[in-house]
Amino acid sequence: MAFERLEILKKLIEQNPDESFNLYALGLEYLNIDKLESKTIFETLINKDPSFLASYYQLGSLLIELDQIAEALKVLKAGKIIAKAQNNHKTFNEINSLILEIEFDV
């Protein structure tokens, strides 16, 4: 089943490479299969569409899991700035909570 979803998402991305959500969904699918591939996808998405806010939270969380704390903080702080600029309080608070968890755990 997961393989089928991957193939569908890859085909959707091929058909419409400018649709950020499809790339985001592919990154989520890879979280349970190949974390490094997922990381690459979220990094690509942030570079391609820096305003796609959800990718910052996902990449930051993944980097924490991969014990890449300094990089996670960098990504999360960038996402926090974008969330504030977009006036997205919910995502701002979610990202800020992750940042605080990191800063208090260090």
Q: Is the pLDDT of residue 105 over 80?
A: no
Q: Using one digit for the tens of pLDDT, what is the confidence trace for 31-85?
A: 999 999 999 999 999 999 999 999 999 999 999 999 999 999 999 999 999 999 9
Give the pTM.
0.91
The confidence score (pLDDT) of residue 1 equals: 61
Q: What share of the chain is helix, strand, coil (3-state, %, to 5)?
A: 80, 0, 20
CA–CA gap between residue 27 and residue 32 (Å, rounded):
10
Which one, of 75, 67, 80, lies nearest residue 43 by Cα? 75
Domains of the chain: 2-105 (1.25.40.10)
